[in-house]
Amino acid sequence: MWRAAAKRLVDGALAGSRAAHAIQSNPLSARSKKIVGVFYKAGEHADKNPNFVGCVEGALGIRNWLESQGHHYIVTDDKEGPNSELEKHIEDMHILITTPFHPAYVTAERIKKAKNLELLLTAGIGSDHIDLPAAAAAGLTVAEVTGSNTVSVAEDELLRILILVRNFLPGYQQVVQGEWNVAGIAHRAYDLEGKTVGTVGAGRIGRLLLQRLKPFNCNLLYHDRLKIDPELEKEIGAKFEEDLDAMLPKCDVVVINTPLTDKTRGMFNKERIAKMKKGVIVVNNARGAIMDTQAVADACSSGHIAGYGGDVWYPQPAPKDHPWRYMPNHAMTPHISGTTIDAQLRYAEGVKDMLDRYFKGEDFPVQNYIVKEGQLASQYQ
């Protein structure tokens, strides 16, 4: 599937390049758009994979296609502060493409400055880096590539569960450091089979995780505002828990799969973490701000949380003094779970499709809309 997506991107780039030269010296037409993309910089890694399109250098593989139609496409990783490259283009850009992996925080203040802004696209899923109520009030459209990296994130969650349950990281560190101490690993390594795993949120990613956990013979629980389809629930063998605080003490592993909203921001504070079973494993690939940063670090230090893993932080990139970098028994990485090469090709293709539809005056796939005509999608309400 990703090979087909890659071919479409490459074909589009080649076709665009034939026309691009003819328009480069001409001023932009009245219909031309100024489009700004904010992505992470690849540097020395940019040329190591031709399908590495999710970085500044790859520019989603759409530069030639956009420029062949007379649009002006600016790509940067410089997104913070009044003198950033992004800030220079705020006032006259028409479209901003952002990504959860290197988020450009689109505040109400920035929206107010952006007099020409029409469309905000997220290359990936999760648009909480945008002030959505402000975008709605300004009449902007916000959309993302729904489903583009759900498999990628669910696989990563399963990986982190196993890494933490099996106490893998200390063993790896021993090997690197030239040590050999089996007891130092085995005293807190467990099987996943028979453990109770609960997901907070059972949307696309949560359901995929539950499906992937079924072969491990776990007891599966989920909490969400909506129940899973009864047939799928029966197939997976998952049990719905209406009361989150009643579910948490039952779980050996808790996985966070809920979007960041006003209701979920800081949801896991000191008091809620205390309701979890002592020695719980927590995996969070949703959003860092759902957790109380210091409460998580303190719980890891005390042993109440036996292991915490994930790839989401607040803010991002995480500062060097972020307490999660230094807390014990963690399996944290930069925000990488949803930006595999396969995922990049899917969300690059999705962004191109939405831009093409936008230029033609056509609607996006309904599930992609986060803000449309002043209304927020249900998950953000």
- Our answer to whether residue 316 is catalytic in this structure is yes
- Our answer to whether residue 149 is catalytic in this structure is yes
Give φ, ψ of 313 to 5 degrees.
-135, 170
The whole-angstrom separation of Cα 34 and Cα 158 is: 40
Binding-site residue set for substrate: 125, 149
- Our answer to whether residue 357 is catalytic in this structure is no
Binding-site residue set for NAD(+): 150, 204-205, 224, 259-263, 285, 311, 335-338
- The CB-side HSE value for 201 (13 A sphere, CA atoms) comes to 21
The whole-angstrom separation of Cα 307 and Cα 189 is: 11
The whole-angstrom separation of Cα 191 and Cα 165 is: 7
In degrees, to the nearest 5, what angle opens at C-alpha 208 toward C-alphas 141 and 166?
125
Q: Is 1 exposed, middle or buried (0-12, 13-18, 19+ CB in 10 A)?
A: exposed
List 69, 149, 284, 329, catalytic entry: 149
List 64, 167, 284, 316, catalytic entry: 316
List 335, 344, 346, 368, catalytic entry: 335
Query: In this structure, how many other beta carbons lie within 10 angstroms of the beta carbon of residue 99?
Result: 27
Q: Which helix (H) or strand (E) holds 76?
A: strand 72-76
List 287, 322, 330, 346, catalytic entry: 287
Binding-site residue set: 125, 149-150, 204-205, 224, 259-263, 285, 311, 335-338
Q: What end-to-end distance do the CA atoms of the chain give, in Å?
A: 34
**Mind telling me the catalytic residues?**
149, 287, 316, 335
